[in-house]
Amino acid sequence: MLTLKGKSVFPGITIGPLALFHRNTISTAAHPIDDADAEVARFQKAREESIAQLKELYNKAVDKVGEEQAAVFEVHQMMLDDDDYIESIEGKIRNDNINAEAAVNQTGQEFAEMFRSMEDAYMQARSADVLDISHRVIQQLCGGPGLDMSKFDHVIIAANDLAPSETLQLDTDKILGFVTSEGSTNSHTAILARTLGIAAVVSTGNLLHDDVEGMTAIIDGLTGTVYINPDEATLTLMWKKQQEEEIRKGRLEQLRGVPSQTLDGKTIKVYANIGNPNNIPQVLDNDAEGIGLFRSEFLYLENTDYPTEDQQFEAYKKTAEALGGKTVVIRTLDIGADKKVDYFKLDPEDNPAMGMRAIRICLTRVDLFKTQLRALLRASAFGKIAIMFPMIISVGEVKKCKEIIGEVRQELDEKGIAYDHEMEIGIMVETPAAAVMSDELAKEVDFFSIGSNDLTQYTLAIDRQQTKLDDFFDPHHPAVLRLIQRTIEMGHKGGAWVGICGELGADLTLTETFLRMGVDELSVSPPAVLPLREKIRTIDLSKEPEA
């Protein structure tokens, strides 16, 4: 038995086989080859594997989103069978004597350019598809995707580290848990595990080698321990712990439908955080009273190209309708820092968390911003949507955002498209600048939502991604708590309601402190909703706080 100690991300207990995720380096640099026949055979094998993947994706997508949406995977299979495409690649390998990765990349680029220059809008749109299929083949040539999930029913994923976009590409229905040797508890992959209620331990320090593949592992998310190839005694102990967890869950079940109210009668809104509409079942199962943070950038992270206005509209509408009139706060695009996708073509930066991210991208690329705002406004006719802007640092930015919303509203009015004219507009308070300026900012918005993850990062000048700094990353630091207190006070003075949607909102040791500060809403990962409600119901604000 191998025992690893790490940091817990979600306090579940899970037992299952281990599967290793490998991050293969993708390179399309051209180099001369010795054996053209062998290189063509490599290409053909990668092409066939890609077609097999697409078949599986198609079948899964039909079940999940229906035939119409799944059709793209069929189109991609046909494109990979196209004679011109295959001939071009094989020609480059044989005539230019170059490796398959370079030949596929060059052909993909040339075909994409050809499609882009066509008159017909449908053909132009194929340019993204040809790049996508080429990327798939190149990925196969470079060692395949990080993990072929088709081999497993249910697995515990072991990795060195996982980027949010990598995590999103895995089939979450099959994931029992995560264990990573690196990674911080504040990372977006950790947040994703929490949203899904998947047991996860990060930062175990030990790299796992291929020989553990398929072995049984236990993740004890209560203590941050991972057991690989556990002995009988450990297995028995963990089964017992699992049963105790089930009993605790049963107790929390009793709190469904019960108000989140203190003993002295103050009601707090307990909302849930989600990344995409796939998380709606978790929101409803855990009886959240609304959605306090829809991280819309996950729609971008799971895509290989910009999601269209209609794709976004469908996602927002579906969420608003599923919540049946309860509030759904949708945050506009917060891409950048660790949340990156290739198609944004962001310049490499030494300091991406302080770089071109979130609202800065939207205010620089207004077309992109307007596409999202149109989708959001159109969806607001189908439920109670509120819009929230991330990473705000100034009143000027908020005014600019509102001006752009005004322009989008006008466009919709001219076209007679319905939207909610009363829709609330708010901002994340997640920079010290916003917290300091909260008195002025409150006059501009309907609500504040405090992003304690970034507020801690920027106040303490500590990279939230940096595992080595986890011991210094202290969201309980008095500087952070004072900024939160100020934000709540100033928000209320200016007539805005104030919530917390960072991970700190779920920290039960601070619930009473936040309630005493006067917070109106706490938005937490869905599995944290009922434990938070349970905690709120034990608090009596009429009594002096315990020292």
Q: Pick what 452 binds: ligand PEP, Mg ion, none; C-beta below 5 to 8 Å, kind-dependent.
A: ligand PEP
Q: Under the criterion CB under 6 A, does residue 454 sit at the interface with ligand PEP?
A: yes
Q: Is 504 helix (H, G, I), strand (E, B) or coil?
A: helix
Point out the residue whose Cβ comes nearest to Mg ion: 454
Q: C-beta of 346: minimal distance to ligand PEP in Å?
A: 16
Q: Under the criterion CB under 6 A, does residue 501 sit at the interface with ligand PEP?
A: yes
DSSP 8-state assignment for residue 126 = H
Q: C-beta of 208: minimal distance to ligand PEP in Å?
A: 27
Q: Under the criterion CB under 5 A, does residue 297 sit at the interface with Mg ion?
A: no
Considering only residues 12, 352, 451, 526, which one is a binding residue for ligand PEP as defined by CB under 6 A? 451
Output the six-digit token pair for 391: 């990473």
Q: How many CB atoms lie within 10 A of CB 148?
A: 12
Closer CB to ligand PEP, 90 or 430, in the complex: 430
Q: Under the criterion CB under 6 A, does residue 475 sit at the interface with ligand PEP?
A: no
Considering only residues 90, 129, 287, 430, which one is a binding residue for Mg ion as defined by CB under 5 A? 430
- Do residues 140 and 162 lie in contact, with contact meaning Cβ atoms separated by under 8 Å? no
Q: Under the criterion CB under 6 A, does residue 528 sit at the interface with ligand PEP?
A: no
Closer CB to Mg ion, 338 or 454, in the complex: 454
Write out the binding residues for ligand PEP, residues 41-70 only, by CB under 6 A: none
Q: Under the criterion CB under 6 A, does residue 502 sit at the interface with ligand PEP?
A: yes
* Stretch of 29-37, 403-411, 452-460, 513-521 contacting ligand PEP, by CB under 6 A: 452-460
Measured CA angle at 271 (ends 243, 197), to 5 deg: 30
Cα 246 from Cα 250, distance rounded (Å): 6
Cα 312 from Cα 296, distance rounded (Å): 9
Half-sphere exposure of residue 387: CA atoms within 13 angstroms, side-chain side: 26
Q: Under the criterion CB under 5 A, does residue 512 sit at the interface with Mg ion?
A: no
Closest CA relative to residue 270, chosen from 521, 55, 535: 521
- Do residues 204 and 5 lie in contact, with contact meaning Cβ atoms separated by under 8 Å? yes
Q: C-beta of 503: minimal distance to ligand PEP in Å?
A: 7
Q: C-beta of 522: minimal distance to ligand PEP in Å?
A: 12
Write out the binding residues for Mg ion, residues 438-467 only, by CB under 5 A: 451, 454
Q: Is 259 helix (H, G, I), strand (E, B) or coil?
A: coil
Q: C-beta of 290: minimal distance to ligand PEP in Å?
A: 16
Q: C-beta of 298: minimal distance to ligand PEP in Å?
A: 9
Q: Pick what 502 binds: Mg ion, ligand PEP, none; C-beta below 5 to 8 Å, kind-dependent.
A: ligand PEP
Residue at 181: amino acid letter:
S
Closer CB to ligand PEP, 361 or 501, in the complex: 501
Write out the binding residues for ligand PEP, residues 334-353 only, by CB under 6 A: 334
Q: List the catalytic residues.
A: 188, 501
Beta strands in 205-297 (DSSP E): 216-220, 225-228, 269-274, 291-295
Closer CB to ligand PEP, 98 or 529, in the complex: 529
Q: C-beta of 167: minimal distance to ligand PEP in Å?
A: 14
* Stretch of 11-19, 236-244, 422-430, 523-531 contacting Mg ion, by CB under 5 A: 422-430
Q: Pick what 527 binds: ligand PEP, Mg ion, none; C-beta below 5 to 8 Å, kind-dependent.
A: none
How far are the Cα atoms of 161, 186, 188, 313 from residue 9, in angstroms, in the given order?
14, 9, 11, 32
Measured CA angle at 333 (ends 61, 411), to 5 deg: 95
Residue at 162: amino acid letter:
L
Cα 249 from Cα 13, distance rounded (Å): 13
Considering only residues 105, 139, 327, 452, which one is a binding residue for ligand PEP as defined by CB under 6 A? 452
- Do residues 100 and 92 lie in contact, with contact meaning Cβ atoms separated by under 8 Å? no
Q: Pick what 523 binds: Mg ion, ligand PEP, none; C-beta below 5 to 8 Å, kind-dependent.
A: none
Beta bridge partners of 270: 522
Query: Counting beta carbons within 10 angstroms of the beta carbon of residue 253, is it exposed (0 to 12), middle (13 to 18) or buried (19 or more)?
Result: exposed
Cα 344 from Cα 340, distance rounded (Å): 8
Q: C-beta of 501: minimal distance to ligand PEP in Å?
A: 5
- Do residues 385 and 330 lie in contact, with contact meaning Cβ atoms separated by under 8 Å? yes
Cα 500 from Cα 394, distance rounded (Å): 19
- Which conformational region is residue 154 in: left (phi greater than 0), alpha (psi within -120 to 50 degrees), or beta? beta
DSSP 8-state assignment for residue 146 = S
How many amino acids of this chain bind Mg ion (CB under 5 A)? 3
Q: Under the criterion CB under 6 A, does residue 430 sit at the interface with ligand PEP?
A: yes
Cα 314 from Cα 308, distance rounded (Å): 10
Considering only residues 203, 453, 465, 525, which one is a binding residue for ligand PEP as defined by CB under 6 A? 453
Closer CB to Mg ion, 43 or 389, in the complex: 389
Closer CB to ligand PEP, 189 or 225, in the complex: 189
Q: How many CB atoms lie within 10 A of CB 87?
A: 11
Closer CB to Mg ion, 228 or 504, in the complex: 504
Closer CB to Mg ion, 453 or 485, in the complex: 453
* Positions in the binding site for ligand PEP (CB under 6 A): 293, 295, 334, 430, 451-454, 501-502
